[in-house]
Each structure stands twice: as structure tokens, then as C-alpha cells.
Amino acid sequence: MDVIRIALLGYGTVGKGVHQTIQLQQERLQTLLGKRVELAGVLVKNINKHHIEDSSVLLTDNCEELFSLGNIHVVIDAIVGREPGFSYLKRAIQNGTHIITANKELFAHHGRELKSLADEKGVSIGYEATVGAGIPIIQTLSKLLQVNKVKRIQGILNGTSNFILSSMREKGLSFQEALKEAQEKGYAESDPGNDIEGRDAYFKALVLSDLAYGKKPEEEHTLLKGITDITIEQINYFSSLNLRFKHVAEIVKAPGKISCAVRPVLVSPEHPLYQVEYEQNAIAVETTIAGRITLQGLGAGMYPTASAVIEDLVQLENQHSQPVWREDVHLEAEEIEQSLWILPIRLEKQLKDKKKILGKLGSKCLIAKNLDEESLELRDHALEVLGGIDLPQIQGLQKSVKIS
């Protein structure tokens, strides 16, 4: 039987998950592919920290040794950060090898360059695992782009921050207590900065923006706000109004502009993200023809991420269509208000004590301009409802209410 030989970069949580999934699903993979999948080698940073029982698998901390292996068909990237992963993947492509990556930071910044090089060399790239782990958003979005145009993408893209907010609301924990619980359960790293400050979700948003629109908003024009300022008192108060805090990434295409924001929002029960709890992720895509499509599932972890990697492998080997990449549509990034709180509901009679609500959000508030131009009437209505409330001038990074 023919063999598909794989080289694996990294043997942490994702790398081990990929290896174990190949072992556990070998019979299924052989049925699907007509070939046996074989792990030929693994590149690690510190060889003394890892062990692989199968002696036929090369375990090395020397990239030259890994790249000298013969007949490698696919290189799978399961490491973090832009380097050395970017250099490794470029080298693999230049060698005529297909690549699959789970590295969202790398792909957010270098995906288009890698795709261009892959097209030149006639090889394929799989990157489903960069966003949403086991949620098949890349393939779904690619198929939608055949006919539909994407108007807006909203998503809970980070399981750590969502777990923390759910634990605070459901268990009455403080932020630090909820973070500690997430770390104990393996949902948060010892250094959780990328997760709780929104950078992880931002990298994923860049991947989705590039796929949907052919362009990424410039970093300096993107709003990025974490969840560390949210208190249990705020959560309890807004829970009494049937509102829930969610850490949401949003990408919007308006006439001539693309906007990107990652920030805490308050969502009401009718919103598709309202019921997304703990380590779950969800992505809602609004399209011109199909309307709103929402995908939900485990957004992180060993096996959900490994599942996405192996699905890419099957797609690649079966020579299914590659994800559609929009050509650069020459859209300028929109400067988004430097806001903290967003209230995506109608401020009508059910919210009678407006001053109290704004006080809970913070003393410095404004009505922020909508990201799109579809809700100007609603925004004007909100301005009328809130008439007479003193809204101080904005100075630097302030807090805002967005009506949508």
C-alpha cells in the first residue's frame, strides 16, 4: 500500500493530538485515502522533554535532520509564533511539499505570502485549524464565497475568555478565580495574555478577514480590548437584565471600508452568541444571499484542533478545492472608536434607568457610530432615548455604548 509520509513541527498539545489521531484513525484514513498515513519525523525545541514510543519516528531538535528525510509529502505545523515556523513552511513549500498549519499568528501575518509561494510551486496549503479548531469555518466560508458576499462576521473565537466569563456569571467567581479555574482545567496557559487581552481572537479575525475580503485591516486601525476590566458586579447587574458579556471578534465590510474589533460586548437572548458557553466557540457569518449562518463547537484543545488538521490532510490528498482567496479589493480599514462596552440591543422602555445603566458601564460614555450604515435610524432613536444624559468628552481610550 502507498504511504503518505508526514513531518510534524512541534510536539506539544496540538502535535501530540495530531499523532494520536493518526494512530487511532489509521483504518479510517486508509479507507478514505487508499494509503497509509505515516509519521516520519517530529521537530521539537528540546528533545529531552519529549518521547515517542515508535522508534521508526525520527525525534529531533535539528531542522536540517528533519528536512533531510526523504519522500516527505506533507509538513504539519503545530508550533506557535511567527518564527521559526514561517521559515520552516517556506522551506517546505520550496521543496515541493504540501503544508498544513494550526498556527494562527503565523498565518494571520504571512498566509497570503505562503499561498502565493505555494501556487508558484504547485503545492497546497491547509489552514482550517487556525480558526475555531474543530469548527469547519474555513471550508464553509470558502464555499459561501463561490456566490455569496460576506457582509459581517461575528464570533467568539477564544475558548479561554469565554470560559472565564461563563464561570464568573454561573459560579459567581471573580476574574482571577475564574482564570485560575481555566488554568487548572487546561483551558488557559500559564501566561494567558494572548487569550484574555484579545490577541488570539485578533489573529483569527485577520485570517477570516483575508479570506472573506482579500484584505486585513491595519493593526493600528483595529480595536482590541480584553476582558480583565469586567467585574462580577457588572456581570450580575446585566444578568438581571438578561444580558450576557461575551468577548466578540467582529469584522464588517461597509462601503469602501473594512472594520475589525475584538472587545467585550453585551448580548441579548435573540443573538446567536448568547447561549455559547465555557470553552465553546461560535462564528456567525452574515451573507448577501444565504443570510446568517452560525457554526458552533469546541474551539480549542488537543483533539478538536487535531481533527481540523486531519480533515485538511484528507481534503488535500483527495485534491478537493483549496479555500477561495478573495483578491485584494482595495478597501481601507475603518478607524473604530476606542470603545470598551458595546450594548447591542434597543434602548427602549425595558431599560428605564438609563443613567444607572450608563453608570454601570463607566462614567465616561458616548454613543459610538455603528460599524455599518444599516442602523442609522436605530442609532438616532437611541440618541433620542438617551437625550439629556451628560456624555463627557472622549479623552484617549474611553468607554462607549454601541447601538446595533
Q: Which of 301, 339, 344 is nearest to 163 (CA)?
A: 301
Distance linking the first and last C-alpha atoms of the chain: 57
Q: For residue 57, what are the CA distances in angstroms to 41, 63, 177?
A: 5, 15, 42
Cβ atoms of 195 and 217 closer than 8 Å: no
Task: Tell which CATH architecture fits domain 135-298+322-333.
Answer: 2-Layer Sandwich (3.30)
pLDDT score at 300: 78
- Spell out the domain ranges in the chain: 3-126, 135-298+322-333, 337-404
pTM metric for this prediction: 0.81
Catalytic residues: 204
Residue 219, pLDDT score: 67
68-72, Cβ contacts within 8 angstroms, sequence gap of 24 or more? 69/5, 69/7, 69/40, 69/41, 71/5, 71/40, 72/5, 72/6, 72/7, 72/40, 72/41, 72/97
Residue 217's pLDDT is 82
Residues 6+ away with beta carbon under 8 Å from 163: 178, 181, 182, 185, 187, 188, 278, 279
- Pairing outcome for strands 280-287 and 292-298: antiparallel
- Answer for the pair 166, 277: CB distance below 8 angstroms, yes or no: yes
- SS3 letters across 259-323: EEEEEEEEECCCCCCCCCCCCEEEEEEEECCCCEEEEEEECCCHHHHHHHHHHHHHHHHCCCCCC
Locate 83 and state its grid cell.
Answer: 518564527
Please provide residue 37's backbone torsions phi and psi, each rounded to the nearest 5 degrees. Answer: -95, 125
* β-pairing verdict for 98-101 and 292-298: unpaired
The domain 3-126 belongs to what CATH superfamily?
NAD(P)-binding Rossmann-like Domain (3.40.50.720)
Residuewise pLDDT in 10s, the chain (404 residues): 599 999 999 999 899 999 999 999 999 999 999 999 999 999 999 999 999 999 999 999 999 999 999 899 999 999 999 999 999 999 999 999 999 999 999 999 999 999 999 999 999 999 999 999 889 999 999 888 888 889 999 999 999 999 999 999 999 999 999 999 999 988 888 889 999 999 999 999 999 999 999 888 876 668 899 999 999 999 999 999 899 999 999 998 877 778 899 999 988 898 889 999 999 999 999 999 999 999 999 987 889 999 999 999 999 988 744 555 555 443 333 334 433 344 443 443 344 555 565 556 553 333 333 333 333 333 343 434 343 333 333 223 333 444 33
Nearest to 154 by CA among 49, 240, 267, 71: 267
Identity at 151, one-letter amino acid code: K
- The answer to whether 298 touches 134, Cβ cutoff 8 Å, is yes
pLDDT of amino acid 190: 82
CA distance 41 to 18: 13
Kindly state the helix (H) or strand (E) to which residue 8 belongs, with its residue range: strand 3-9
